[in-house]
Structure 1
Amino acid sequence: MSNNDVASVHQLRSAYEGQKAGSFDLNATIATPLELHQCTVKPEWVDYNQHMSESCYLLVFGDNSDAFFRYFGIDDDYRSGGHSIYTVETHIRNLREVALGEPLRLTLRLLDFDHKRLHIFHEMWHAQSNTLLATGEQLLMHVDMQAGRAASFPFELQTRLEVIRTAHSREPRPVDAGRAIAINHRRPT
């Protein structure tokens, strides 16, 4: 099997590949948080413990990010122009197990952005019980793929992101945002 055959067999695809970005109305009400993605736990996402594998939490959060990208204007046509968004850092908190066939509802908040970076916060909810299953926090970078380095968002996208950030900043910051990973060594009392 050639490298091209292997790549085509194992290529990971977003649920949103091929979908166009919608039109963005700068005067429309922006939901806080945004609810752009729903899915059901697939058989290939379930591991030997009979619940969704940890790597699949990131897969679902990635699809939620892709839905957000289309929301504010980045789609396959945009990427074909040589720019995309890459992940710089991700922090996932797995709070509850979820099993095969269970429905998921994802939310997303834009915590911050600058001319090259996005800071977003995902929440994964059980769509029927409304139980919080996981959170994901990401720092993302807008990239010029030909140059292989960070690049500024076009002014039009920065304007849209500012509208979203302004709406999302009206609500309190999620409690779990900005958490660090550490073992808290308490001294016996």
Structure 2
Amino acid sequence: MDRVVTPYEGSGRRPWDDAAEVPAPLRLHRTPVSSRWVDYNGHMSESCYLLVFGDNSDAFFRYLGIDEQYREGGHSLYTVETHIHNRREAVEGEPLTLSLQVLDHDTRRVHLFHEMRHGQTDVLLATAEHLLVHVDIDRGRSSDLPHHLQHRLAAIHRSHAALPVPDVVGRPMGIRR
């Protein structure tokens, strides 16, 4: 059975060092635009933007300490809401660089912001805002993150608190009149 596989699957998690400086923002994922992501308009299809943002989230999970072993223990982070803003087209072969900012978190939720930029020109191509919830997979319900992950999220959030909150965060969608 075919399933979606991220480029980080099977790579484990990064060791956490409490003394290490947390980059603000995090820059954990780079990729060229795959020919499989290009649609009949000759540029990256809208669903593939979400795919690449999802890969960036997976890189973040591993930075935080969430990998296959963690999920086998019955817990994971699930996305409950996403807002994508497409700014520019990306075509096959172009390099993409992604950044991630932790905007907020509590014991069960994480609010993230991603930027996708052209890897050579640094032009902003797209942004994504995600709200994630920590779940107990077997119970199908939200659950508190373990204390060690809450501690790591707090460290990342402290570092990212110095970053400006992007103007699109929390903005409702609609037709302005």
The aligned residue for residue 104 of structure 1 is 96
Pair 1:67 & 2:67 matched: no
Aligned residues: 177
The aligned residue for residue 112 of structure 2 is 120
Task: Please tell me the residue identity of whatever aligns with 1:142.
Answer: H
The aligned residue for residue 139 of structure 1 is 131
2: distance between equivalents of 1:171 and 1:122?
Answer: 13
Residue 179 of structure 1: how far off its partner (Å): 1.5
Which of 139, 144, 158 aligns to 2:150? It is: 158
Pair 1:50 & 2:63 matched: no
Residue 130 of structure 1: how far off its partner (Å): 0.5
Task: Please tell me the residue identity of whatever aligns with 1:119.
Answer: H
Which has the larger displacement, 98-107 or 20-29?
20-29
1: distance between equivalents of 2:131 and 2:163?
Answer: 20
- TM-score for the superposition, normalised by structure 1: 0.92
Task: Please tell me the residue identity of whatever aligns with 1:169.
Answer: A
The aligned residue for residue 20 of structure 2 is 28
2: distance between equivalents of 1:70 and 1:180?
Answer: 30
Tell me which structure has the larger Cα radius of gyration. Answer: 1
The aligned residue for residue 174 of structure 2 is 182
Mind listing any 5+ residue stretches in structure 1 that lack a counterpart?
1-7
Which of 71, 75, 89 aligns to 1:79? It is: 71
Alignment deviations for residues 108-128 of structure 1 (CA, whole Å, 9 cap, x no partner):
000000000000000000000
Task: Please tell me the residue identity of whatever aligns with 2:139.
Answer: A
1: distance between equivalents of 2:164 and 2:93?
Answer: 33
Mind listing any 5+ residue stretches in structure 2 that lack a counterpart?
none
2: distance between equivalents of 1:81 and 1:17?
Answer: 16
2: distance between equivalents of 1:105 and 1:143?
Answer: 29
The aligned residue for residue 12 of structure 1 is 4
Identity of aligned residues (%): 54
1: distance between equivalents of 2:168 and 2:21?
Answer: 25
The aligned residue for residue 38 of structure 1 is 30
